[in-house]
Chain A
Amino acid sequence: MDFELSEDEAALAQGIRSLCAGRFPLERLRAAEGGDGLVDAEGWTELADAGVFSLQLPESAGGIGLGMAASSVVFEELGRALLPGPILASHLASYLVPDAADGAADGKVMVGAVRRPPTSGTEAFVPALVEHLSSLGVLIVVGDDGLAAVDPADVDAVRIGRPLDPLTPLWRVDELPEGRPVGGAEQARRWRRDQAVLGGALLVGLAAGTLDMAVAYAKEREQFGKPIGSFQAVKHMCADMLVAAETARAAVHAAAVTIDQPGVGDPERAAAGAGLLASEAAIKNGKICIQVHGGMGFTWEVPAHLYLMRARVLSQAIGPVGGLAELVAELY
């Protein structure tokens, strides 16, 4: 047992972090706010070359053959960089439904995913909101009892004028086509589970990103003749952000390793718990980050809101926290 990051894992994270800093700095991403081709084709290929989509595809199929642990450190960095685009679904599809996602692993095709809205219960009859629809080569519809592949050209959709996250374009779809079945209930369960963990990793990256922003600002902004970070109320807000981020990170890593290493725990329970805590950490830290920035935090210019809105998008994608909590309770 050694639950620290291995050298390889640390190096992998560092590599992705430098790639994002050099190739996808936030200023550049923001220039594309409100558009739909958020990452240019070349950039997407570079992500593919770095292994972002093929990490878990077996080597025999041309992938890198690593597991969830490696993916979780990579996705944390992508989250921290606010990297837009259907990165998570493209990654999941490349190893979970390889036949339906031809070209996903090498970045030739972008894959999206959407939960099939329930037809009964409190969420019944809500339209599906599909992210990045105009960029997708294939859309995976995740139902309770299976996965289906839908051709985006067959989807009757209306673009949302003002999506909450300006870097995640959205389309409203009143009726999702049935599509072609590409996986049964077991595949759908795996999709939801891995999505909770890697969506969790993205969310941990967001939580860490806002923590860094808040701490940097607290060291530099002065009031009453000293840095606001010397005031205890501000310090304690930052400390709470760190606790939230570190706890969620440990949960995400543990869930990833629990999936990779059969026998060390219950992967289902670990994944649901990780997604739940990561969602909360990202949303909480986004909120505190705005508060630490004062009036600046409420401006469009300061990117705190981008992290918070992305957190909402991801939190929605991995499932409502209440549902995740019930799953943990059942499996405890």
Chain B
Amino acid sequence: MDLRYSEAEEKFRLELRQWLADVVPKLGPKASSLDWPARRTYDTAWQRMLFDAGYAGIDWPVEGGGRAASPVEHLIYLEELERAHAPYVGVNFVGLLHAGPTIVVEGTPEQRARFLPPILRGDEVWCQGFSEPGAGSDLASLRTKAVRDGDEYVVTGQKIWTSHAEVADYCELLVRTGDDDSRHRGITWLAMPMDRPGIDFRPLKTIAGSTEFGELFLDGVRVPVANRMGEENDGWRVTMVTLSFERGTAFVSEVLQSMGFLRDLREMAKRTGAWSEGDVRRRMGHLGAELDALWALARRNVSQAARTGVPGVGGSVYKLGLSELRQRIGEFGMDLIGGAGLSWDELEGLDGAGPIGNADQVNTWVHGFSRTIAAGTSQIQRNIIAERILGLPKG
């Protein structure tokens, strides 16, 4: 076990740190969380800056526009971005953190050349069309149908919970190409262009009052066969690759971000006097210890991924632990700010306002509820751990 970074890795870190120190303070104000087109503009402009500076696709292959560095350097990269309070991946989440990595592993050379560079340049934004009204946890029961017509698939059906689809250019789409009851054996993974006729997106309002996801209706949408990742009917295997990235490595920066959040809470508690209560200090220390442990687990998963190419089922352990922990951190913040937690609007001058205001606290708490649902619910992660890691019999 070795937690030291090599000289080359440390050099990479220092150069990146220097660059971030130059550019991050000059960035304009973030877009309103409710304005998706503005968010797209902001997030993709930041991605373009990263690309131009050579800091995009750290562990992606060169032909995809990446640096072909190790997953370890990718981890350093995430660490430094968080440390510099650089913008979050935002609308580039799907493209950079799971669709892209899937194409790196599963795509043909042509597909990699076509799809990867625009993601890294911030030119193309991706969304994820996996879930359907009738297929959530039971993803393999999905029914959106794709029928082959020459060198195109004609896709008809409905997706739901598709995050930021209104600003996406491509959708990683799971479709049924096998018989209706073929389940895992009849699924295909397609890259669907979002500008095709037959696509209708209707946003849904979340409990945060925002419209971050919605319903995606597909009516005879034509998708080139060339956009298929892996073989026809082999999409479930490809999906497992996507999910292993989504669960295994996509949330790494959340751990680091949560550490900062916890430190901010401590500063606030010191100002308000809550820190004099032993219970508050112990709760904070406990959450801190758990975050440190998840950071250790993340490094273990990344080490494994560096050896095998794809994060393992350990990602489920990490995803489950982190999402539940995020909820407890959110609760801690809400308990600390008391009455200020009743307002989404920033309340200047109240106890809760500080390095992180009450709006941040409320946001962290409320969004925590989605963490144990999205990317596979906590119950599903427990099923995976019990059956695939512990070998308990299927129910």
Contact = CB atoms under 8 A, between A and B. Distances in A.
Interface string A153-192: 0000000000000000000000000000000000000000
Nearest to B392: A229
Contacts of A263: 4
Interface in B372-395: 379, 381-383, 385-387, 389-395
Given A229-B392, A235-B386, A236-B386, A2 B2 contact: yes
A270 B285 CA distance: 11
Contacts of B53: none
Nearest to B280: A329
Main secondary structure of the interface of B (DSSP, over half): helix
Contact of A239 (B2, B266, B281, B382): B382
B342 interface: no
A3 B382 contact: no
B395 A1 contact: no
Given A246-B317, A254-B296, A1 B288 contact: no
B288 A329 contact: yes
Contacts, number: 177
B292 A215 contact: no
B243 interface: no
Interface in B276-299: 278, 281-286, 288-290, 292-297, 299
Contacts of A229: 386, 392-393
Contact of A265 (B3, B266, B281, B282): B3
Interface in A193-244: 215, 218-219, 226-227, 229-232, 234-236, 238-240, 242-243
A135 interface: no
Nearest to A242: B385
Contact of B317 (A234, A247, A272, A324): A247
B288 A257 contact: no
A326 interface: yes
Nearest to B324: A243
A250 interface: yes
A243 B383 contact: no
A254 B383 contact: no
A277 B293 contact: yes
Interface string B281-321: 11111101110111111011011101100000010010011
B129 to A, nearest CB: 29
Contacts of B392: 215, 218-219, 227, 229-230, 234-235, 238
Interface in B219-265: 259, 262-263
Contact of B286 (A236, A246, A328): A328
B347 interface: no
A91 B176 CA distance: 60
Contact of A248 (B266, B293, B306): B293
A247 B321 contact: yes
A276 interface: yes
Contacts of A6: 1-2
B5 interface: yes
Nearest to B286: A325
B2 A261 contact: yes
A4 interface: yes
A116 interface: no
Given A215-B392, A232-B395, A277-B290, A332 B387 contact: no
Chain B interface size, under 10 / 10 to 19 / 20 to 34 / 35 or more: 35 or more
A293 interface: no
Contact of B391 (A219, A231, A253): A219
A251 interface: yes
Interface string A249-287: 011011011100101110001101110110000000000
Contacts of A265: 3
A326 B285 contact: yes
B72 interface: yes
A332 B263 contact: yes
A5 B307 CA distance: 12
Given A4-B304, A240-B382, A226 B293 contact: no
Contact of B390 (A238, A258, A276): A238
A67 B285 CA distance: 27
B9 interface: yes
Contacts of A328: 285-286, 288-289, 292
Interface in B4-24: 4-5, 9
A327 B9 contact: no
Contacts of B294: 247, 250
Contact of A322 (B278, B290, B317, B391): B278
B259 to A, nearest CB: 8
A243 B320 contact: yes
A69 interface: yes
A270 B292 contact: yes
A1 B305 CA distance: 12
Q: Closest 10 A-B residue pairs measured CB to CB? A: A273-B289, A329-B285, A325-B285, A254-B296, A235-B386, A251-B293, A328-B285, A239-B382, A250-B296, A229-B392
Given A4-B307, A235-B387, A332-B262, 5 more contacts: A230-B392, A242-B317, A246-B297, A246-B317, A328-B286
21 contacts: A2-B303, A9-B1, A215-B391, A235-B386, A235-B392, A235-B395, A238-B385, A243-B321, A247-B321, A250-B297, A254-B296, A257-B1, A261-B4, A274-B289, A276-B285, A277-B289, A325-B286, A327-B285, A328-B286, A329-B281, A329-B284
